[in-house]
Amino acid sequence: MKQHLDILNQLFLMEQKLTKENKQESYARFLSRIHQAFSDMDYTIQNPLHEKYTDTRTDLEANIVGEATQQLVVTQVIKPIVFHHNQLLQKGVVIVENQ
């Protein structure tokens, strides 16, 4: 299962890089097939980018940038949230900032 998690994290990083370089469309079909294969194995990957953050969230490990602690929003995702058979397998690792 650890190997699956490693692959999912690398896939997530690859998608982020392709998006930054505006090349994701070229690889969309291949990425979609990989996601479907993991979905068939009952993995769910969530990207919490731009979601509100509160300290009560148990699915994220956050580093807070700045001094404000109200209206925090996820501004960068280092690792996605991963579920397997509807159980949390990996907490998302994120950076949050004041909105």
Q: Are 45 and 82 in contact (CB under 8 A)?
A: yes
Beta bridge partners of 90: 82
Q: Are 26 and 19 in contact (CB under 8 A)?
A: no
Paired sense of beta strands 81-84 and 52-53, if any: unpaired
pLDDT, tens digit, 9 for 90 and up, residues 27-47: 999 999 999 999 999 999 999
pLDDT, tens digit, 9 for 90 and up, residues 64-86: 998 877 899 999 999 999 999 99
Q: Which pTM does this prediction carry?
A: 0.90
